[in-house]
Amino acid sequence: MTPVVPRPEPLGPPGSVGIPFVTTWSGELPSLFSELVARPGGRGLGYCHERPGDRDEHGVLWARTEGAWGDGEPRLADQHPLRQRQAMTHMCCQICAGPASRTERGWLFLAGQRPDGARPAVRQLEAAHVMNPPVCLPCAAVAARRCPHLRPRPVAFRARWVKALGVQGVLYGPTPFGLVVDPRVEALPYTSRFVAWMHASQLVVEVRRVTLIDLQHELAHPRPASAP
Ligand SMILES: [Zn+2]
């Protein structure tokens, strides 16, 4: 299936970008609830005036934003809907938007520490649902030093198999009084018949054939890149 989002232009050389590509900025306003409508015939959610690019290749409606990267103040906890989807779709680094690191062990991802500080086992990462796009090796080194949720020891893993599974967002339902939010559901697979009612804001991928790696060792001894 052909992606409908273009591959992003890199923000700068790997390891040189201060604010990640996927970060949302305060000037990038989200789309308004008043723009949403129930499509006739129970065909799910739509916009009053839909534009090319409002839907992904599965027909799911995506949140719109205004503005551009760098408008206002960075909101480091929030990933921009379009840029997160671009990075995930094209396996670009979530920080510099250049190609993510890929070796014979797979694509490189970083994960935060668990609340108890324990490192996850491979079986806990196998078939995990991931919303943080991969990274390149130089940016991984910077993130490991700077990101509080990755300290003191970042969890780094590689996945040979990565597949788009579905979307995270806000699930709406039609009622005689208009659209209402279903707060019980935050994410749905593309195979769900309810996904037509999702207002998507993040692409969720499933990772398999996972290997936990020692990031510091890979930084000191880079392995050959694998062909795409
Ligand atoms: Zn990078």
pLDDT value at residue 182: 94
Which one, of 152, 122, 132, 144, lies nearest residue 212 by Cα? 122
How remote is the CA of residue 134 from the centroid of ligand 1, in Å? 9
Cβ(68)–Cβ(122) under 8 Å?
no
What integer pLDDT is reported at residue 48 of this predicted model? 93
Q: What distance in angstroms lies between residue 105's CA and the mean position of ligand 1's atoms?
A: 18
State the distance from the centre of ligand 1 to the C-alpha of 101, rounded, in angstroms.
8
CB atoms < 10 A from the CB of 125, how many?
A: 19
- What is residue 168's DSSP assignment? E
Bridge partners of 46, per DSSP, are 37
Asked whether the beta carbons of 180 and 61 are under 8 A apart, the reply is no
Smallest CA-to-CA distance from 89 within 77, 110, 107 is with 107
| CA 20 to ligand 1 centroid distance, Å | 9
22 alpha carbon – ligand 1 mean position (Å):
11
> Max alpha carbon distance in the chain (Å)?
62
CB 226 within 8 Å of CB 107: no
Residue 166 DSSP SS3: strand
Distance in Å, CA 51 to ligand 1 centroid:
31
CA of 172 to the centre of ligand 1 (A): 35
Q: Cα(149) to centroid of ligand 1, in Å?
A: 18
Reduced 3-state DSSP string for 15-33: CCCCCCCCEEECCCCECCH
Residue 16 pLDDT: 93
DSSP character string of 45-109? EEESS--TTSB-TT--EE--B-S-TTSS-EEEEEE-HHHHHHHHHHTB-TTT-SBPPEETTEEEE
Ligand 1: distance of its center to the CA of 192 in Å? 33
Structure-token pair, residue 157? 């893993």
Residue that the structure tokens 């290749």 belong to: 57
Distance 154 CA to ligand 1 centre (A): 16
pTM listed for this prediction = 0.92
Per-residue model confidence (pLDDT) at position 57? 95
Ligand 1 center–CA 17 separation, angstroms: 8
**How close is the Cα of 137 to the center of ligand 1, in Å?**
7
Each residue of 150-178: pLDDT tens digit? Answer: 776 789 999 999 999 999 999 999 988 88
Tens of pLDDT, residue by residue over 53-92, are 899 999 999 999 889 999 999 999 999 999 999 999 999 9
Q: Quick check: 198 and 45 in contact, CB under 8 A?
A: yes
Query: pLDDT tens digits for 106-135?
Result: 999 998 777 677 778 888 899 999 999 999
| Helix (H) or strand (E) segment spanning residue 216 | helix 215-220
What's the full length of the chain, in residues?
Answer: 228
- Residue 102 Cα, ligand 1 centroid: separation in angstroms? 12
Which residues, including other chains, have CB under 8 Å from residue 168's CB and lie 6 or more apart? 131, 186, 187, 200, 201, 202, 204
Over range 39-57, report the average pLDDT. Answer: 93
Distance, CA of 21 to CA of 19 (rounded, Å)? 7
Cα of 135 vs centre of ligand 1, distance in Å, is 5
